[in-house]
């Protein structure tokens, strides 16, 4: 086989990849937030979307360099499907950071049992970052005492946030917790039977206003524990867990809908921005802090995929998002995310 033949095959292969990437990206973009997204085909496609977008970008750059008209394929794919692109890339590059006195700084982190590695316990490091960033309210998931810190000692590390949802005298080993600089009027922990997952919500008094903030940890995908079991089994089990998450999301959304206060929805959703669970939690009255003020890639899960965004801070539309950022330090298998929001009633 000659070099010319190989080049011809290569060009055709790239063309086919470009057309397929165009079609798949358009399908998912068209069905974002629709009931169709509950199907297993869409679920698989939604997991692939970050890679499909990156493929389109690579083809765009390659065909631009060699000045090939086929550049129109990935260019149109990205322009037509800009909505999907904005869910994993933040384009708020020219916006200046506003710091009005009314800002509320909210953070969310799956602390991975306060372990950044197999034997590294980092309660103090997490606490130092929260203090450094002047966080007013932080939502934690996978919160647990360990051999080095009991629950009261962990609480002591965050004593600059004096209000907490956890009843440390009868705390249920692992859970979701909220620490706040502002008084917590009422709160409720809800655990899901048979799992370590659950939610906690808190009504928090901020000046003359009250907000309801959620710390959520939805059911796991199960992908990590099933590695080596075969692709078909992994997908089937992940899709079953996807259904469980959707039920949990509906329950959370019902609680949010009963609140007379503006809602902030934080946590590890274990779902992509294209997923049905994220759509359910957003409803019609919440907006994504990342799409409002995020910059560059929005990935929050460190262990596998740089573009895997599964942690969120969703806010009521009465909030203005003045800043969103991810913390670069590796303090968990998730990144800490922080949003500065201003309530405008």
153, 282: one domain: yes
Q: What is the value of pTM for the model shown?
A: 0.89
**Does pLDDT of 279 surpass 70?**
yes
Residue 55 lies inside a defined structural domain of this protein: yes
Average pLDDT, the chain: 85
- Domain assignment of residue 303, yes or no: yes
Domain boundary among 86, 115, 132: 86
Residue with tokens 């609680």: 255
Q: What is the pLDDT of residue 342?
A: 93
Give every CB contact of residue 250 below 8 A, 6+ residues apart in sequence.
280
Residues 37 and 114 in one domain: no
Is 242 in the same domain as 314?
yes
Do 75 and 212 fall within a single domain? no
Looking at the fold, whether 283 and 257 belong to one and the same domain comes out as: yes
Pair (28, 70) in one structural domain: yes
Indicate the range of 13-27, 43-57, 180-194, 321-335 predicted with least confidence: 43-57
In a domain, 7, yes or no: yes
Query: What pLDDT sits at residue 77?
Result: 92
Same domain (yes/no): 146, 246: yes
The answer to the question of residue 93 being in a domain is no
The predicted pLDDT at position 320 comes to: 94
CATH number at residue 140: 3.60.10.10
pLDDT of 38 reads 56
Q: Report the SS3 class of residue 270.
A: coil
Q: What is the pLDDT of residue 96?
A: 61
Q: Is residue 222 part of a domain?
A: yes
Q: Do the domain assignments include residue 116?
A: yes
Whether residue 94 is contained in a domain is answered as no
Q: How confident is the model at residue 179 (pLDDT cuts 50, 70, 90)?
A: very high
Per-range mean pLDDT, top range of 80-89, 101-110, 224-233: 101-110
Considering the domain architecture, whether residues 287 and 312 belong to the same structural domain is answered as yes
Which pair of tokens denotes residue 306? 């740089």
Task: Among 86, 119, 136, give the residue marking a domain's end.
Answer: 86
Residues 121 and 252 in one domain: yes
Same domain, yes or no: 45 and 14? yes
pLDDT at position 121 over 90: no
Residues 73 and 200 grouped into a single domain: no
Torsion of CA 203, 205, 211, 213, to 10 degrees: -50
Domain hosting residue 316, numbered range: 103-343
pLDDT-wise least confident of 200-209, 216-225, 262-271: 216-225
The overall longest dimension of the chain from CA atoms, in Å, is: 77
For residues 128 and 7, membership in a common domain is answered with no
Residue with tokens 């950044």: 116
Please tell me the least confidently modeled range out of 189-193, 201-205, 213-217, 317-321.
Answer: 189-193
Counting the structural domains of the chain, the total is 2
The pLDDT tens digits of the residues spanning 76-90 come to 999 998 888 888 888
pLDDT of residue 89: 83
Q: Is the pLDDT of residue 237 over 90?
A: no
Chain CA centroid to CA 219, Å: 14
| 36, part of any domain | yes
Rounded distance, CA 27 to CA 140, Å? Answer: 35
């Amino acid at each position: 086989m000659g070099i010319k033949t190989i080049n011809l095959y290569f060009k055709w292969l790239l063309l086919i990849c470009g057309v397929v990437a165009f079609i798949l990206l358009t399908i998912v973009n068209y069905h974002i937030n629709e009931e169709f997204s509950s199907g297993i085909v869409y679920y698989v496609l939604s997991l692939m979307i970050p890679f499909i977008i990156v493929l389109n970008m690579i083809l765009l750059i390659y065909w631009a360099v060699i000045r090939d008209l086929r550049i129109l394929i990935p260019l149109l794919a990205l322009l037509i499907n800009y909505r999907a692109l904005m869910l994993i890339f933040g384009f708020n590059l020219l916006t200046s950071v506003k710091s009005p006195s009314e800002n509320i700084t909210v953070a969310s982190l799956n602390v991975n049992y306060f372990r950044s590695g197999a034997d590294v316990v980092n309660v103090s490091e997490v606490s130092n970052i929260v203090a450094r960033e002047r966080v007013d309210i932080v939502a934690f998931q996978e919160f647990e005492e360990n051999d080095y810190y009991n629950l009261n000692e962990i609480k002591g590390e965050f004593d600059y946030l004096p209000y907490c949802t956890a009843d440390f005298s009868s705390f249920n080993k692992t859970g979701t917790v909220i620490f706040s600089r502002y008084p917590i009027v009422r709160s409720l922990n809800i655990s899901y039977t048979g799992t370590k997952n659950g939610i906690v919500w808190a009504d928090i008094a901020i000046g003359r206003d009250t907000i309801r903030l959620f710390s959520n940890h939805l059911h796991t995908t199960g992908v990590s524990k099933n590695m080596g079991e075969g692709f078909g089994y992994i997908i089937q089990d992940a899709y079953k867990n996807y259904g469980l998450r959707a039920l949990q999301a509906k329950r959370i959304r019902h609680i949010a809908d009963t609140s007379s206060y503006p809602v902030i929805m934080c946590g590890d959703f274990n779902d992509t921005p294209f997923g049905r669970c994220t759509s359910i939690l957003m409803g019609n009255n919440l907006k994504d802090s990342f799409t409002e003020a995020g910059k560059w890639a929005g990935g929050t899960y460190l262990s596998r995929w740089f573009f895997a965004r599964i942690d969120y801070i969703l806010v009521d539309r009465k909030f203005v998002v003045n800043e969103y950022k991810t913390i670069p330090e590796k303090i968990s298998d998730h990144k800490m995310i922080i949003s500065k929001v201003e309530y405008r009633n």
